[in-house]
Structure 1
Amino acid sequence: MNNRYLKARTLARAKHTGQMYGDVPYYIHLDAVSRLASPFGTDAMIVAQLHDVLEDTETTIDELVADFGFLVADAVSYMTDDKLENRQARKDHINLRLATLDTVEEAARIALIVKACDRLANVRASLYSNHHYYQLYQEEHHVFKQSVYRKGLCEAIWWELDNLLRYSEAS
């Protein structure tokens, strides 16, 4: 494994210590997102490990820049929900930000890929364990896809995501 990736995984595990993803340690989710991002390169895997570190810990953007450079820090920043109390307000705000990203910029391209991988990991996990979140992802899917999807970018991720959520519509 790449040393930068191992550094990101180690940092993410340390920063998310004590946090849970349902009934399992948070790093289980980070590893799932990273596996989904692996076809898109090491930087995508690094961003996958770090994608919630600004949102859910006391980590700063300056720390990410110092440890991983501007590309990774910018990508993580693009994906980070603002600390608004209402889920709908948070999602509206981040969807507006993601909708403006241009894949010509590498950090934006990686952020959009990892955001789709994150959603797929969440949908997979909630499919069998948390029907409430599964229904939320289904309800949010149209707006989420309008904001994050870019033709030709991680089509296999979107294919599975669309199919899992379509399956839920039939349930």
Structure 2
Amino acid sequence: MSHAVEQAREWARVRHALQRYGAQPYRCHLDHVERIAAPYGEDARIVAQLHDILEDTATRVEEIAERFGPTIARAVMLVTDPRKPTRHERKRALNQRLIALDPSDDAAWLALIVKTCDRLANVIASSEHSPPRFQQYQREHGGFRLAVYRPGLCDNLWTELDELIDAGQQADRHPDHQLHASIS
């Protein structure tokens, strides 16, 4: 593993130390996103480790730029939810930012890939452990896909993400699922 990836991992663990991801330490989510991002290179792995650091900690974008350079800092900034009062407003504003990105720009390319990796990790985890959160991702999927998907950019991740969302929607429509849900 490269020194920069290890530095990002350790820094993120310190900054997110008290945060949880469901029942797990937050680092489990960051590591999952990094594993998904690994085929896209070292910078994608670094952004994966740092993707929530501006949103969830007191870290400033200037600190990221000092440690990892301006491209990484800008990519992290691009994937960070804007400060808005509701999730709906945050996601709408973020999607507006993401839809305008040109993947020929290095920071935008990283942001689009890592945002897809993050959503895939969240959908996998919620499909296994949090049905209400999974349903939220199902509802948001169309707008998210419209904002983030670019043909030829991490298509394999989109195939997996779409299949998970579709499988969940099919299960929701299946009569046995509805019977089980009403019994539970």
What TM-score, normalized by structure 2, do the two folds share? Answer: 0.92
Secondary structure in 2 aligned to 1:58?
coil
Partner amino acid, structure 2, of 1:60: R
Q: What is the distance in 1 between the residues matched to 2:131 and 2:152? A: 30
Instruction: Name the CA distance, whole Å, in 2 between partners of 1:161 and 1:94.
Output: 19
SS state at 1:90 partner: helix
Q: 1:57-112 CA deviation, whole Å, 9 max, x = no partner?
A: 00000000000000100000000001212000000000000000001101000100
In 2, Cα distance between the equivalents of 1:105 and 1:170? 37
* 1:97-143 deviation per Cα after TM superposition (whole angstroms, max 9, x unaligned): 00000011010001000000000000000001000110000000001
Q: Please state how far the C-alpha of 1:41 moved relative to its aligned partner.
A: 0.1
Residue 114 of structure 1 is matched in structure 2 by 114
1:62 aligns with 2:62: yes
Higher relative contact order, structure no. (Cα contacts within 8 Å, ≥ 6 residues apart):
1
Equivalences for 1:106-145 in 2 at 5 Å?
Answer: 106-145=106-145
The letter for the 2-side match of 1:83 is R
Shift of residue 22, structure 1, vs aligned partner: 0.3
AA aligned to 1:25 is P
What does residue 148 of structure 2 align with? 148
Larger Rg: 2
The runs of 5 or more residues in structure 2 that have no matched partner are 172-184
Quick one: distance in 1 between partners of 2:126 and 2:69? 33
Alignment RMSD: 0.4
2:80 aligns with 80
Mapped to 1, the partners of 2:72 and 2:95 lie a distance apart of 20
Which amino acid in 2 is paired with 1:95? N
> How many residues align structurally?
171
- Distance of 1:3 and 1:93 partners within structure 2: 34
What stretches of structure 1 move > 3 A for 4+ residues in a row?
none
Percent of pairs identical after alignment?
48
- Residue 14 of structure 1 deviates from its aligned partner by 0.3
Deviations 1:134-167 (A, max 9, x none): 0000000001000000000001100000000000
Q: Distance in 1 between matches of 2:78 and 2:66?
A: 17
